[in-house]
Amino acid sequence: MIVIDGRESSLSLSNYANLEDVLVKIIEEEKLEDRIVTDVLVDDEAFSELYPHQAEDIEASGINRVEIRTVSLDQMAGDVVAELPKVIDIMAGGSRSAAALLRRAELAEGLEVLQDVIGVSRELLNTIYVLRSQYSSGTCAPLEEMSDTLGDLLGEIADVMGNEDWVLVADLLEYEYLPACEGWRKVIAAIEEDVLAAKKAA
């Protein structure tokens, strides 16, 4: 049996060699290209691949039930946008923590936190650009301004780190990076309006 979002599919497991064939065919036949798969359950057990193409190694003949749960792209986008303020909070908290550690000359821990902050910043930028490309064709002045600011600031922090001036790195985090974090909230609010408009129009 194949179940998609609580509805039994007309597709039959007996027609496929392995789980990967089943999943590929479900997405094609059930027209799920505009949806995001959130969960795959095989015989009521959550399934996720431990290595690439693991699903190929699971024979369909040994499976009684496959259940797929999905959400629309708009719903997923709405969920992501709702989480972005928490990401800003993480960035702000991390920068404060890294600045305090660097000022106390606890370099190993401070640099580890700083690397995490930089990684989260890059992920935020990537996520925002994906959402903007999907949900808005117009320009967003706050986004362009904040992207330039963050890019310049991360470059400056990297240069100062190269000179091992940890007090200046701490100053940049506290007095420039933190205010920049707050500026991203306007960008997120603008994206949220675009996503909500798309959901209403759907």
Per-residue pLDDT, 141: 63
Tokens of 64: 């009684």
pTM above 0.75, yes or no: no
- Split at pLDDT 50, 70, 90, the class of 94 is very high
Q: Which residues contact 99 (CB under 8 A, 6 or more apart)?
A: 169, 170, 171, 173, 174
**Per-range mean pLDDT, top range of 100-104, 134-138, 160-164:** 100-104
Alpha carbon distance 108, 120 (integer Å) = 19
- Mind listing the pLDDT tens digit for each residue in 134-159? 776 566 666 677 777 878 888 898 89
- With cut-offs at 50, 70 and 90, classify the pLDDT of residue 81: confident
- In the numeric block, which tokens belong to residue 119? 């990684």
Q: How many CA atoms lie within 13 A of 143 on its CB side?
A: 19
Q: Look at residue 126 in the predicted model and tell me its pLDDT.
A: 81
